[in-house]
Structure 1
Amino acid sequence: MIAAIDIADDAWARVADLGSLTERAIQATLAHIGRDKNVEISVLFAGDAEAATMNAQWRGKGYAPNILSFPAPAVHDLPEGEARPLGDLILAAGTVAREAEEQGKTLTSHLTHLIVHGTLHLLGFDHIEDQDASRMEATEIAILKGLGVPDPYNS
């Protein structure tokens, strides 16, 4: 698994071992789903302004979301052994920190949850329909438990 990590906002410096946390969350998600680990995910740790611009451009929404996920288009003719692009995750520093504080969660727990959540989106999970939301939440809870992160829906 390749996690191409770009830290574009200094506010992320408050998260110790951000790269390791990111890789652990992605690897745990891939392992739980039983997905081939020869994938590449790009992760941008942005500021709120940059995330808001992307959210407006790609989703038509004028605010900084906690996370955006953009699945990569299917690639059918990759050379042998080359990592399959899975997609991009973009996280907004201020929004993530504010939500963690408002919800009484540690920043690392909330961030881990969001990375798991976004990775599941890249793998095709969604939460539009109630049954899909229930399935996605149960999957997140199980993955997070393995990472030592409390259930984010019962805190």
Structure 2
Amino acid sequence: MSRKLKLAVQVETAATGLPGKTQLKQWAEAALQAKVKQAEVTVRIVDAEEGRVLNRDYRGKDYATNVLTFTFEDDLPDIPGLPLLGDLVLCAPVVAAEAEAQGKPLAAHYCHLLVHGMLHLQGYDHLDDAEAEVMEALETQIVTTLGYDDPYRDDETP
């Protein structure tokens, strides 16, 4: 069975320089691991206020963050063949500010954060050093395959 991704995109911000649906889908598909046969994901790009409210209400942190991942796996029965289901929320002003502060192209940072969120949807995490190492290696592999620089590269290191 070939992998298939149904992607819905919602834009709730007036920010400019946002990636389009085709680009988002390419990045999301690249992040799907072989075990995932089907996925249905919504990517919502929001302003700082909505990002702050979601982060506060769902994570208890009262500030806007770059990406939030909402997986529906825990709320559903274990049914063979059920697609990967989830939502990713990208906060446009935070993504733009981080890209500028890190000296990265905006598209590269959006790509990295979308890949990061897609990996979270598939069960990857970075709660401890070993998990973080695995997840960051995957992110680097996927993002560089898509033509962007290693998102964890430190340009100040000789």
TM above 0.5, one fold? Answer: yes
The aligned amino acid for 1:76 is: D
Matches within 5 A, 1:1-155: 1-11=5-15, 13-15=16-18, 17-30=19-32, 33-73=33-73, 74-77=76-79, 84-154=83-153, 155=155
**TM-score normalised by L of structure 2:** 0.88
Deviating beyond 2 angstroms after TM superposition, the runs of 4 or more aligned structure 1 residues are: 73-78
Answer yes or no: is the 8 Å Cα contact 1:86–1:123 preserved in 2: no
Answer yes or no: is the 8 Å Cα contact 1:27–1:37 preserved in 2: no
Answer yes or no: is the 8 Å Cα contact 2:17–2:106 preserved in 1: no
Specify every segment of 5 or more residues in structure 1 that has no aligned partner in the other structure, as ranges.
none
Secondary structure of the equivalent of 1:14?
coil
- Deviation, 1:85, is 4.3
Secondary structure of the equivalent of 1:149?
coil
**TM-score normalised by L of structure 1:** 0.89
Percent of pairs with identical residues: 38
The aligned amino acid for 2:23 is: L
- Deviation, 1:28, is 0.3
Answer yes or no: is the 8 Å Cα contact 2:51–2:91 preserved in 1: yes
